[in-house]
Amino acid sequence: MIPCIESGIPGFDELTRSNDGTGGIPENTATLIYGPAKTGKSIFTNQFTYKGLTNDEPCLYITTDNGYKQFKNTMEEFNWPIEEYIDNNSLYLIDTISDISKGKPSQSESFIQSYINNPTDIMVKIGSGVHYIYKNNPRFRSVIDSATTLLAYNENMLIIRVLKAYLMRVNEAGGTPIIVYTQDTADSIIETMSKSMVDNIIRVDGEKLYIEAMKGIERRSSPYQITDNGIVIK
């Protein structure tokens, strides 16, 4: 039996239900969610993050697309308030983008600044982040949103190595990581490499969500909608 954690996406855990009755995201495995731009990938991972937080599963969140403020606002739009989790340090946020815009928030124990064009620094912060979270709860979630931006700012093969190291670290500590990637933004070698590194692959195209690969189950798909409460799978 493959133990799963709740995705938080209505319909997803049913869609991924296996013969032995479990459904959701297989615990302690790595997932890639990809698809064209604006198809709900970030919403999916935010929903996944929020579900974890409300279940006492902390989250190591690496944001490369939206600074802290924007991230918080986006979450609130869907009625997923995260302030409390930032305060109690169960959301460990590595913000690699805010320094570019103005109004840099100050660092705290679980709010860490890094730099999108410095993967080495990001890896160091991830290392201490994993350590920090693991200490409190070995059952945790982790999100990188998104690999696309990391790839855009850095040498691609270096990012592949960094992502590999990230997955190894989170995995070793017992966490469940998800990486977001926008389809066709890197060359096909990099895209294939990224897919080969993870256990599960989810693709969204605006209309349907495809489980292209998942530990313990065969390929599946279902239409989905983006509602005021996030993604809902029919």
- Taking alpha carbons only, the member of 15, 44, 55 closest to residue 227 is 44
Among 14, 99, 127, 220, binds other proteins (CB under 8 A): 127
Kindly write out the interface string for residues 152-191 of this chain, putting x where it contacts other proteins by CB under 8 A and - elsewhere: -----xx-xxx-xx--xx-xx---------------xx--
Minimum gap (Å) between residue 165 Cβ and other proteins: 5
**17: contact with other proteins by CB under 8 A:** no
Q: How far is residue 89 from each of residues 58, 113, 133, 143, 193, measured CA to CA in Å?
A: 8, 15, 9, 16, 33
Q: Which CB sits closer to other proteins, 219 or 234?
A: 219
Secondary structure letter of residue 218 according to DSSP:
-
**192: contact with other proteins by CB under 8 A:** yes
Minimum gap (Å) between residue 136 Cβ and other proteins: 18
The pair of structure tokens assigned to 173 is 């500590």
Phi, psi (degrees; rounded to nearest 5) at 75: -60, -40
Residues in region 79-108 near other proteins by CB under 8 A = none
Among 37, 124, 229, 234, binds other proteins (CB under 8 A): 124
Minimum gap (Å) between residue 73 Cβ and other proteins: 30
Among 10, 27, 78, 213, binds other proteins (CB under 8 A): 213
What does the alpha-carbon distance between residue 225 and residue 233 come to, in Å, rounded to a whole number?
7
Which residues, in sequence order, are bridge partners of residue 179? 32, 144
What does the alpha-carbon distance between residue 234 and residue 160 come to, in Å, rounded to a whole number?
34
Minimum gap (Å) between residue 188 Cβ and other proteins: 6
